């Protein structure tokens, strides 16, 4: 049997492959340029960021060294902050009676000088028990009707008239006993 070689078709294939390798070479060159450019850029940026990191590290070290020299002052500040916050927290728990007593005296609806607070009990829950003494019945009567005075009631969250004592021994002594809870005042210095 006789064999035939089709040289024309082989030539076409060869040209196709030649073109492919031509394109491949171009792509490889372009890829090389791009890769080298990226690598160079990365190298420059990396060196820059590394030196920035190094300079920040030495800056931090400098500040730390300076702070070590002032360690005692720093300790004092921390100590002051802790103790002063303790001081403020403790003071908040105090009864702080004076402003409440002054307000009570100001708004107390007693019309004459013959009446006054005879005793007062006050705790840090702002619960107050107080007794008013009167030397005559008329003052007691007038004050009793004044107890509903709005300004006076406004200083309490709650107020109860607990007892009225009308004892007439040697000295006439009339007493009103009240119990209530003060409204919280804005923080006032004693």
Is 107 one of the binding residues for other proteins (CB under 8 A)? no
What is the 3-state secondary structure of 16-58? HHHHHHHHHHHHHHHHHHHHHHHHHHHHHHHHHHHHHHHHHHH
> Tokens 């000295």 sit at which residue?
171
Residue of 103, 109, 120, 153 that binds other proteins (CB under 8 A): 120
The structure tokens listed for 123 are 């705790």
DSSP 108: -
Residue of 12, 37, 44, 95 that binds other proteins (CB under 8 A): 95
The structure tokens listed for 34 are 């791009």
By C-beta, is 67 or 161 nearer to other proteins? 67
Is 98 one of the binding residues for other proteins (CB under 8 A)? yes
Is 74 one of the binding residues for other proteins (CB under 8 A)? yes
Using the Cα atoms of residue 47, residue 50, residue 56 and residue 58 in order, give the sign of their dihedral. negative
Binding site for other proteins (CB under 8 A): 10, 13-14, 17-18, 21, 24-25, 27-28, 31-32, 35, 38-39, 42, 45-46, 49-50, 52-53, 56-57, 59-60, 63-64, 66-67, 70, 72-88, 90-91, 93-95, 97-98, 101, 116-124, 133, 190
């Amino acid at each position: 049997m006789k064999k035939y070689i089709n040289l024309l078709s082989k030539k076409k294939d060869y040209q196709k492959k030649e073109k492919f390798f031509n394109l491949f070479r171009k792509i490889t060159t372009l890829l090389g340029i791009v890769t080298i450019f990226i690598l160079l850029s990365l190298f420059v940026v990396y060196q820059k960021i590394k030196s920035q990191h190094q300079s920040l590290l030495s800056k931090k070290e400098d500040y730390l060294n300076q702070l070590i020299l002032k360690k005692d002052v720093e300790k004092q500040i921390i100590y002051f902050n802790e103790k002063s916050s303790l001081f403020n927290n403790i003071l908040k728990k105090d009864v702080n009676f004076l402003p409440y007593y002054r307000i009570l005296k100001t708004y107390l609806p007693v019309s004459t000088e013959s009446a006054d607070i005879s005793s007062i009990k006050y705790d840090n829950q702002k619960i107050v028990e107080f007794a008013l003494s009167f030397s005559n019945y008329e003052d007691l009567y007038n004050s009793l009707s004044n107890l509903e005075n709005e300004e006076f009631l406004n200083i309490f969250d709650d107020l109860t008239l607990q007892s009225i004592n009308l004892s007439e021994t040697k000295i006439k002594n009339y007493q009103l006993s009240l119990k209530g809870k003060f409204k919280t005042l804005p923080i006032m210095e004693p």
